[in-house]
Structure 1
């Protein structure tokens, strides 16, 4: 008996080895086997498949995929004051891969956890920044690391002000979160991208969207 396959794992899941077996959208891909390598919290799978190359020949391939669910992120901005509201928190993967202290400046973000993207990002914005978001503008949805991670992130933007500040924020302490908010002038945020002070991909994408097509785009 294996947890996550025929008995529940610690999140109550079974049948995790069935995910991806029935894919039929690409006739050049034939799924042969799916193995669960780990399901401690998220799920690491190894998939074996046959792939037809552009010259017609087939090869047997294996890939590992990390499934942590989909997520959402939001840029909070004040167009009148030309500021953005970011979060700062410790990120162990960045720390072990060369970031000086692992404390990253980011847009508020989190996993969907069964909610719609819009519901999830309103929840995360309030938990992390203390601001209650009204109508959020949907920007785009992208795969952040398609070579190994299944996650698709939904990007949003919304205004903030003193009036939208309703709670203390800071994240969920019971989940180990220790988040501070940082208000940054938009021009300074762009400079920080160039100088490496902002090194988080989703944050850079939203800031560049804001400069090109969003609230801080040049006047026509």
Structure 2
């Protein structure tokens, strides 16, 4: 039940982790579980591909309010960001999901809004894809988490195992990522909140995995992409 998480959910992860896909699927599930207003902010100013803002009209049709940065300038150190980003932070009638850029530059964007993010109102979820460089081992994941926390001025409160090989993802891929995530969880006392994977793979997972299963539908990739 994603509506049990804190009101402001920030989702980050290394390039290629699938964090934007997770963010979109998360907010779609949240929309199903709450009668509150729901907003999705795309603050990923690093990755110019597969950003959640590309599904703005689809989000609106679902009753989700989309917010994106005011300029498309991924190469800038601290690009201009719409002031609308702060509205759902300060308006407690909103349930809020933020798709945050997955490196030090991207994470610094959220730091400017730190004063509008109370400690007791946010979750920062780090998406783990153990099939990607720099996040293949627990040590690499923890090093990356340290960088994100320092840049964002926020603490990671949960892990999302989203280990995948796009449409070729297998149960073995997910379990590989689960083991890495468990090592990080044990070392840092950060819970595994979700296990995200394609819906057809989710149906094959063994019982008893730590974390709630979050089935993924591919909103961010066209059907012809592998």
TM-score using structure 2 length: 0.27
Write 1 or 2 for the structure with the bigger share of strand: 1
Write 1 or 2 for the structure with the bigger share of helix: 2
